[in-house]
């Protein structure tokens, strides 16, 4: 779970229970029945909003469309607020499609996604204390010199607290929301149903494989013992490197529902927006280089590119890497598919690029043949940007609008609707999210040179 921001120093454990309980929060619905009730209330509220909007449009002499009635400002806020309150997979599924989606999704849906990324409700202290007692026992406070009752961060699956051990070691303690692990499957099914009835997901699009993979990944993210093991793997892989810092877990305090790790200070990665160009470029070069190493060297990728999973330590100039719940082994065929696409891209042959995209599953063969002219035009735009002299300027995103406009004719053809293999969706999410961060920082990076170097250094095994 990301360390989104820091709060004041944690209080001493001598704080009274009343002081611990003084922090406000919003209880997270933990039972399946309670969560189902919330989804039902959301559906009823959305339906009421749709009826009101439909009546308004009819009275104005308009013919209401399902999508227009669904995506009213009121309904957008209903969905965002309810998913933010439910947390867990309901919120995580929304976040999973949000990275770099703003350029291509309807603005109303992008607003929902942005609100889901920024909202930070947290458990009230009473609910938090019950979780800590269940995992550590009634005397859990005696293990710490200090424990901050108010979370430093609250995200989709858990919230993070700052604590200090008697030996002075500072820790970040991630505590999972109650009921999250057992509600993953039903939450995802309920969110998918909401998207279906909204008309945002075409009925012809088979999302069952993606939903199954999302459920699998979220079950893995809810397993904090697994995340601790993945964190250790990354810490070992990057041990002693000048560009990265990775916390290490504290095994004695880590359970299935609590992850204890080193507290690493740093600034939000977005704070680099005001940093000198050279600093921004170096930071993004390190992150893009890490993605290439994950793909071609490690065969292991942390697939959640949420900005809050990266921090910047101004003293050392290193990037702090956080949250390893979404880490996964990469299948050799997925890695090879990216290798072929990147090689085709560097070669600049449109036919090879198109064939590599079809082979990888980014589009089906029928769509590539039927819309070859449009697809080739889009490839031309991408190649023109990639082949500009000098470093690639992520801050110049004018070409995105051109691609969106060109792709509309393909998107309107239902025969062209297609989802890549589920595992590739998660890898592509990491790549797209990294590009979005680079755009946010307006970084300039020699991406073409880095890709060429990676393909030469890590050829197919």
For residues 244 and 238, is the Cβ–Cβ distance under 8 A? yes
CA distance 94 to 75: 15
Residue 453 annotated as catalytic: no
Along the chain (461 residues), what's the average pLDDT of each consecutive run of 10 residues? 32 41 51 47 44 43 44 52 52 49 49 52 85 95 94 83 96 91 80 65 68 84 95 96 96 96 94 95 97 96 90 94 94 92 90 88 80 83 84 84 71 68 84 89 94 92 57
For residues 423 and 295, is the Cβ–Cβ distance under 8 A? no
- pLDDT, residue 1, reads 38
- pLDDT, residue 239, reads 95
- pLDDT, residue 253, reads 97
SS3 388: coil
Residue 412, phi then psi, degrees to nearest 5: -80, -10
What is the pTM (predicted TM-score) of this model?
0.77
Where in the chain are the domains?
Answer: 1-27+121-180+222-264, 32-118+184-204, 268-461
Two structure tokens written together for 40 = 């039902």
Question: Which architecture characterizes domain 1-27+121-180+222-264 according to CATH?
Answer: 2-Layer Sandwich (3.30)
- pLDDT, residue 134, reads 95
Residue 60, phi then psi, degrees to nearest 5: -90, 5
CA distance 195 to 183: 18
Torsion of CA 13, 14, 16, 22, to 10 degrees: -40
CA distance 14 to 17: 9
- Could you say which of 304, 323, 336, 413 is catalytic? 304
- pLDDT, residue 300, reads 96
């Amino acid at each position: 779970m990301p360390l989104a921001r820091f709060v004041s120093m944690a209080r001493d454990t001598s704080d009274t229970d009343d002081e611990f309980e003084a922090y406000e929060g919003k209880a997270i619905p933990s039972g399946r029945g309670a969560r189902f009730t919330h989804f039902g209330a959301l559906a009823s509220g959305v339906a009421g909003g749709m009826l009101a909007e439909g009546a308004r449009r009819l009275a104005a002499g308009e013919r209401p469309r399902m999508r227009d009635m669904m995506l009213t400002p009121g309904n957008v806020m209903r969905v965002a607020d309810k998913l933010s309150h439910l947390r867990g997979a309901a919120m995580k599924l929304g976040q999973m499609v949000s990275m770099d989606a703003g350029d291509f999704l309807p603005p109303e849906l992008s607003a929902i996604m942005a609100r889901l990324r920024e909202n930070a409700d947290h458990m009230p202290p009473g609910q938090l204390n019950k979780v800590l007692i269940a995992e550590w026992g009634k005397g859990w406070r005696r293990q710490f010199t200090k424990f901050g009752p108010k979370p430093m961060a609250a995200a989709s699956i858990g919230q993070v607290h700052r604590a200090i051990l008697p030996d002075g070691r500072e820790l970040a303690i991630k505590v999972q929301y109650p009921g999250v692990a057992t509600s993953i499957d039903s939450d995802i099914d309920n969110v998918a149903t909401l998207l279906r009835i909204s008309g945002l997901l075409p009925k012809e699009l088979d999302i069952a494989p993606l939903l199954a993979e999302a459920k699998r990944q979220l079950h893995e993210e809810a397993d904090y013992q697994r995340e601790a093991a993945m964190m250790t793997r990354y810490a070992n892989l990057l041990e002693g490197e000048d560009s990265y810092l990775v916390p290490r877990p504290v095994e004695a305090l880590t359970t299935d529902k609590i992850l204890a790790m080193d507290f690493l200070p740093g600034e939000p990665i977005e704070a680099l927006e005001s940093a000198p160009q050279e600093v921004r470029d170096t930071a993004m070069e390190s992150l893009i280089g890490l993605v290439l190493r994950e793909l071609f060297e490690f065969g292991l990728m942390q697939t959640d590119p949420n900005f809050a999973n990266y921090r910047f330590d101004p003293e050392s100039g290193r990037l702090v890497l956080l949250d390893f719940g979404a880490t996964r082994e990469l299948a050799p065929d997925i890695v090879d598919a990216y290798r072929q696409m990147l090689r085709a891209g560097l070669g600049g042959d449109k036919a090879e690029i198109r064939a590599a995209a079809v082979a990888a599953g980014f589009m089906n063969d029928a769509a590539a043949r039927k819309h070859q002219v449009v697809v080739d035009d889009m490839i031309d735009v991408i190649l023109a940007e990639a082949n500009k002299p000098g470093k690639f300027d992520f801050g110049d995103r004018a070409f995105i609008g051109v691609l969106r406009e060109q792709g509309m004719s393909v998107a309107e053809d239902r025969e062209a609707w297609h989802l890549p293999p589920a595992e590739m969706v998660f890898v592509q999410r990491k790549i797209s999210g990294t590009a979005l961060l680079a755009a946010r920082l307006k970084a300039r990076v020699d991406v073409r040179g880095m890709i060429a170097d990676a393909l030469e250094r890590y050829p197919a095994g």
